[in-house]
């Protein structure tokens, strides 16, 4: 599977690799099953992501549709604007990809207000 940011972790997911805090201390070993309590502990120790093997009951985690409730016209306009300001960048770079996601979400909250 993939590296999943903490906000998208769910109880029942299985870890592919050890989860460690910033100083390298082991918090949860590979192959453990996540529970709500552990996700809370991750947050406490400043963990921002986890390498996940598969979702609950062995399902593959699908790309989450986080913007599915938003008016498609507004969404398309926001996406276009973000694409435009990032035009000079490599959109496949993991940092740029995440930054674009953050910018899109930020733009949509500003529009919603």
Interface contacts to other proteins, rule CB under 8 A? 3, 5-7, 48-49, 84-90, 93-100, 102-103, 106
Helices (H), 1-113: 36-44, 72-85, 94-112
How far does Cα 85 stand from its chain's mean position? 22
Between 30 and 106, CB nearer to other proteins? 106
For the chain, the first-to-last Cα distance in angstroms comes to 36
User: Which residue number, 44 or 48, has a Cβ lying nearer to other proteins?
Assistant: 48
Distance CA 15, CA 107 (A): 33
The residue (of 5 and 56) whose beta carbon lies closer to other proteins is 5
């Amino acid at each position: 599977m993939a590296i999943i940011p903490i906000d998208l972790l769910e109880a029942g997911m299985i870890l592919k690799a050890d989860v460690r805090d910033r100083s390298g201390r082991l918090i949860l070993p590979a192959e453990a099953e996540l529970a709500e309590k552990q996700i809370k502990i991750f947050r406490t120790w400043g963990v921002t992501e986890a390498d996940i093997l598969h979702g609950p009951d062995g399902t593959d985690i699908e790309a989450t549709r986080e913007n599915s409730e938003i008016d498609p016209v507004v969404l398309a306009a926001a996406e276009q604007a973000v694409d435009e300001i990032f035009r000079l960048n490599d959109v496949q770079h993991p940092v740029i990809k995440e930054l674009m996601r953050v910018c899109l979400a930020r733009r949509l909250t500003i529009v919603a207000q």
